Chains A and B, each alone.
Chain A
């Protein structure tokens, strides 16, 4: 599974960038429809949960997101 950011909720605080121990995120470059720079999931292959399903090994970004914007989606 890989993380996915819901740009309708994200307010661009960049906590996910900071909290991810593997550096999966990078700074956003485009305005979302809310007017924030939504981070990009630039390296999903570095994520602990890459290639996994079921119970996730690390959920720091999902739980630390103040906007509840991050969910797990299927890769590919």
Chain B
């Protein structure tokens, strides 16, 4: 049964705290649609997040909510899920949370393949603290801690997750709302570690410093910078080249069915004599 808007969201806390034009709101919007399409039960779902703007999404959802420490949402969620496998655990986290301080937990989470759904909202910056560079800030772009342009190169978080063993990895931008709804739905139903990266807008932290202070400008930028995975395959473009030029490849990168950790553990249990 579809959950009504006022039942799903904590409307007593609306309007939400995110800036005008913030992509996080778009993700919330699409996630709500995907959740209803998936037929999941709100009572059995736990929403977790680390620290940062993206991690505040669970605070707006009317379910059990665990707002954890910076970068550690994945191990918290691992403990939750393995202690009570009946719970559906969804993680909302940003690029700094998951890709910097939480990097180790991301790759191990993918490797372990515990049944978790991770929505990584990548706005190329540390938004909550004012727009510092993050591990996904494109090369040469400005931030408060790279006033001369980022000297470093960014991570490709989706490729990291894919290489580390996640069962489902997809990346879309906030311009690809329909594909996003579909991918989030798939991720919610997937057994094992499902990772959906959303290239998002941050007009206040990132856009403003890089000549796209108007959210519409950053949306145009996102569309112009994205390349469909199918096109890459057709034209034999190296993913690494793409990443170094700051282009964003979008699509479903991995969709496999490696056994999830709780499946392996429960099959072991059935072998143990009482």
Contacts and interface: CB of A to CB of B under 8 A. Distances in A.
Touch test A–B (CB under 8 Å): yes
Contact of A68 (B20, B25, B203): B25
Given A63-B181, A66-B21, A11 B15 contact: yes
Contacts of B181: 63
Contacts of B29: 62-66, 68
A5 B19 CA distance: 17
B15 A8 contact: yes
A66 B22 contact: yes
Contacts of A36: 20
B26 A63 contact: yes
A68 B19 CA distance: 13
A15 interface: yes
A53 to B, nearest CB: 16
A73 interface: no
Contacts of A48: none
Interface bin, chain A: 20 to 34
A11 B20 contact: yes
Contacts of B174: 64
- The winner among B9, B22, B24 for most chain A CB atoms within 10 A is B22
Nearest to B178: A63
Contacts of B177: 59-60, 63-64
A9 B108 CA distance: 39
Interface string B9-51: 1000011101111111110111011000000000000000000
A18 interface: yes
B15 A13 contact: no
A3 to B, nearest CB: 14
B105 to A, nearest CB: 28
B103 to A, nearest CB: 27
A14 interface: yes
A66 B14 CA distance: 12
B247 to A, nearest CB: 22
A11 B203 CA distance: 13
A9 B174 CA distance: 19
Contacts of A18: 216, 219
6 closest residue pairs by CB, A with B: A66-B25, A13-B21, A11-B20, A63-B177, A13-B20, A18-B216
Interface of A: 8-9, 11-15, 17-19, 34, 36, 59-60, 62-68, 71
Given A64-B175, A66-B24, 6 more contacts: A13-B20, A13-B21, A60-B177, A66-B22, A66-B23, A68-B29
